[in-house]
């Protein structure tokens, strides 16, 4: 009888370890899906001059905030103007945006003439609003 008990606990331990591995992989995939949806929305919103025949559509209101945020996340440069790529920064910013945290971020235009301080929560609301506008436009134009 003791041999059966030992095998049982070994098998149980192996099964639980396998469940932990699968759960970990599922968590990674869920994280990837969340960030993919966020990146897709940002890509759809940014740089859409054809919207409403207004060439400045992406340069006004909430869309301008999102354009500056895109530059802050993906287009950072060093003091000498060289591209600076930090994937940890990208992931951190996207996670904060997805969570809509109250943490403030300083966004600056490329010509350094405009500086805006906004929270990730405000940026998240801007994405939701702009994406909804595009969806409404898409729905009404397809009818």
Question: Mean pLDDT over residues 21-42, rounded?
Answer: 85
Using pLDDT thresholds of 50, 70 and 90, give the confidence band for residue 51.
Answer: low
pLDDT in tens, 109-125: 888 888 999 999 999 99
- Residue-averaged pLDDT of the chain: 84
In total, the chain counts a number of residues equal to 143
What residues pair up with 26 in beta bridges, in sequence order? none
32 has pLDDT over 90? no
DSSP classification of residue 94: H
- Rounded to whole angstroms, how far apart are CA atoms 67 and 109? 9
Using pLDDT thresholds of 50, 70 and 90, give the confidence band for residue 100.
Answer: very high
The pair phi, psi for residue 108, each rounded to 5°, is -130, 140
- Rounded to whole angstroms, how far apart are CA atoms 45 and 42? 5
130 has pLDDT over 90? no
53 has pLDDT over 70? no
Which pLDDT belongs to residue 34?
84
């Amino acid at each position: 009888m003791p041999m059966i008990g030992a095998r049982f606990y070994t098998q149980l331990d192996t099964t639980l370890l396998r469940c932990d591995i699968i759960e970990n992989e599922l968590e990674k995939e869920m994280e990837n899906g969340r960030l993919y949806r966020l990146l897709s929305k940002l890509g759809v919103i940014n740089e859409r001059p054809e919207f409403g025949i207004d060439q400045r559509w992406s340069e006004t209101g909430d869309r301008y905030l999102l354009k500056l945020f895109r530059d802050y996340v993906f287009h950072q440069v060093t003091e000498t103007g060289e591209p600076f790529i930090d994937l940890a920064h990208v992931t951190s910013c996207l996670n904060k945006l997805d969570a809509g945290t109250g943490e403030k971020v300083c966004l600056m235009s490329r010509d350094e003439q405009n500086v805006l301080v906004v929270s990730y929560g405000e940026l998240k609301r801007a994405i939701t609003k702009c994406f909804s506008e595009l969806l409404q436009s898409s729905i009404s134009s397809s009818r």
